[in-house]
Amino acid sequence: MTLALTESAVVNAARADVRSPVRAKYRPDVDGLRAIAVLSVLLFHGGVAALSGGYVGVDVFFVISGFVIATKLVEEIEEVRHEFENGADEERLADEIGDVLFVAANLARHAKVDVSRALRGANAKFERRFRAMEAIAASEGRSLASYPLAEQEALWVRVKREGG
């Protein structure tokens, strides 16, 4: 697990675009926690009797890694937002959105979530909610397309709130 996460961090760093306006801030506190987690595991495996909490180190490292990956996801989403705001072309947006998807898939893998299953579930949920919105519009004698975007958003929130 640790090796795969380290490789992912290297891949993400290698893929980073030097032109990007968004950069994650270095967190020495996170590095310190990582060092303590790794040290506790090493001491545990080294047979230091007073430190029997080696498994705690693994858990701490797992949580920190999830935090780091989630932080990277936020950074990548901010880069996409920046590209939209600055009128990026289709190729640039595809590149940035690809980075978001890459990090999201890595986060799912880290959390032991099957990416395909999660995506199928999200698609099914979206379709269920969209169909519910269409049904509400039809019950009012309208097509969903005739609603302004603000009303469509209100319908979405209503359907979501009602468990759709």
Cβ atoms within 10 Å of 102's Cβ, excluding its own: 17
Where b means 16+ CB within 10 Å and e means fewer, 116-125 reads: eeeeeeeeee
Conformational region of residue 51, where left means phi above 0, alpha means psi within -120 to 50, and beta covers everything else: beta
pTM tops 0.85: no
Residue pLDDT tens, the chain, 164 long: 333 444 444 344 444 443 444 555 767 776 676 676 677 767 777 776 565 555 666 666 667 777 778 888 999 999 999 999 998 889 999 999 999 999 999 889 888 999 999 999 999 999 999 999 999 999 999 999 999 999 999 999 999 999 87
Q: Which two tokens stand for residue 9?
A: 């961090």
Dihedral (C-alpha) 49, 51, 57, 60: value to the nearest 10 degrees? Answer: 150
Task: In whole angstroms, give the CA distance from residue 143 to residue 150.
Answer: 15
Q: Cβ contacts of residue 134 below 8 Å, gap of 6+?
A: 144
pLDDT at residue 122, rounded to an integer: 94
Question: In the chain, what are the domain boundaries?
Answer: 1-113, 114-164
